[in-house]
Structure 1
Amino acid sequence: MTVVLDSRALNRATLARQHLLARGDASVPEAVARLCGLQAQEPQEPFIGLWSRLAGFEPGRLDDALTDRTVVRTHLMRRTVHLVTADDALAWRARHDAMLRQRVLGTYRRELAGVDLDEVAAAGRAVMADGRPRTMSELVRAVEDRWPGPPRRVLGELLVAALVPMVQLPPRGLWRRTAGVHNLPLATWLARDVDPLPAGDGDPVGQRLVRRYLAAHGPAAGADLRAWCGLAGLPAAVKAVREELVVFRDARGRELLDLPDAPRPDPDTPAPVRFLPAFDNAVLGYHDRSRIIDAAHLGLSVAGHRVVLVDGRVSATWTVRGHHLRISPLRPLTAGEEEAVRAEAGDLAAFLDQDIAHVRLDTAD
């Protein structure tokens, strides 16, 4: 008989995989790899995500990983900028190529009608062959005479986010640095070509993605996997690894897959307060997010609100304005929960080190 996992059991499994039950002692590259990357379109947010997950995390550790090229910022899952290890960027990029193209085309199909994408890609690579970083505007200016029809923004997104595997170079993404986006081909920055997709039958890259996703987010359904990566063509990969996996059901009867030896803590395991950054994959990495956030609040994470986990669930939002860290509960908090939230907020304020003089905890509506 298939075991049913309720929302609380799934919540504790997610927190354990995401290093949100207890802070870990991994290096930054190790943590980024275990998490299958961190969403990073807002450059400073990964620092908060890592602070909530790693004991004694210091911003310089991520700065070092970016500058020594063990971690990179690149468009990947869901055509979103992610912070991933260099090895994962090279291994996963070719498997995401078709999705990246289709997502740009789906957004700008009319503007790109009649445009040969392979020709645009070849032109972009030719421009970047000199090894000089370029902004999107500089890259577009170099090729726009050949394609005067599409708006410059569309041509730029096509080149940078879809056709040519690019990395956003430091100082973009460094701690407290405000910098424009200078792009360089991934292969140039890492001195190694993107891994080609293996020839022949099967989908070994997709199979590895399935295993890695489940290690970081499982137990999960196929729809959750698709929501995380944006890839539609993974059913064959799931089928290929299915015999390695264990099967559960959620309270709605959905089939959930998982790695047999992955952590699935007791549902009564205490969960500490954690402050999450905008667009954190602990929330966004699923199609069904009910394990961590109530339906009434689903729009918060998509809109980029920073959230607070209390007893493992999204229970407040938080912002920093000037010298104030403000917490806005989404439900009434007990006295003990308020105390824990204030304590973690004080530690966060010390980490942010922005002369935050006051932590304000509002009353739930």
Structure 2
Amino acid sequence: MVTAARRLDHVHKQLTTLAQRTTDDLHRVAQGCAQINSLRILQNSAVALDILAARRADAVEHHKDLIHTYQRATAAGTPQHRPPRKATVTSRGTPAASRSAAIPRRSRPPLPRYPMPPHRPELATFAPAVADRLPGHWTSRLNPARTGPEHFATLQRLWDEAGHAASLIEEYVHLDDAVMHGPGEQQLYVTHRPLRTGELVIAPLAPDDDAILEHHFDCIDGPSGITVPDDPVRAAALIARRLLPTYCAALQALRRHVAERPDPPRLPAPSPVRETVTLTWYPDGTFGAPYTSVPPEVRATLFMAGFCYFPHRDAFVLSAEYPEDDQVRRLQAVAHALTSAGIGVNLRRSGNPAEPTATSPPGGGPHPRRAR
């Protein structure tokens, strides 16, 4: 009963803290002091509040059942001293006590046994216990901002080659998490495994260094996160055997790539061309080039690719009767043949053809670092 009461108080404290934090955020948004973030306030906070409310209601019902069971058990185990009853004689001359003793008494059904719900370990005690058992000097730190920019920046540094641990972390709402810091920039993300009360998820993190770019992770056998039991001794043994060797080797390879290739590889510059042929994309879906703009040595290549000379247009034209994919293959053949001969190819359009429609590339800007 004491353990159930402490768990109820802990869940209630978490619920009130999160509700007060969400209320403060909405109050600042209402006053115009901050901008609303729907992903943080309306989704993560709402789901976390629902989970905590359900956990508190379950803890209250379980506590009531424990109190009722305890009261019945103590009442059944306490002897009751009743005064002896006088034997009463019925009209037939038989004592009433002897008649009642002759009637068999029904056995009382056993009291229901409510199994104790599985207990999730507190990360405030689990993470330090695991850190003390890992090789080298390790420390642990709880993440206070579970829905802020710091938390999402941590999730972006997940280095999970297999992707299983990253999916367990990113696709569920976690009420608490921690980060363990070790030697050589080693960092391990720790949180509860969803839908499994007796297990936790351990995922390595990439170093938080602006000098590390995406191309530095190429050709590296990256580490993968694992799930461990809630026993600190067994969890530390699994981390040291299954995760740390691959993680340390990947960090060494990553630092070597940063030192050897600080900049991403650049594509080689195009070779110079002696002349250029321009192909025009017309509104009716045809591709053409004026006859006078096509050098004589290029005309045979256009004929082989399906271009025909139309005297009334005085141009080489690739008919729109060809399917779209067939047109693409023929244009690629022309471009490959001409560029191999040192002749450049330009492709422009005239007007707005109906099909295929040209799509503009998305807006630029620096690409955020994706989760490993």
TM-score relative to the length of structure 1: 0.22
Greater Rg over alpha carbons, structure: 2
TM-score relative to the length of structure 2: 0.21
Higher relative contact order (Cα pairs below 8 Å, separated by 6+ residues): 1
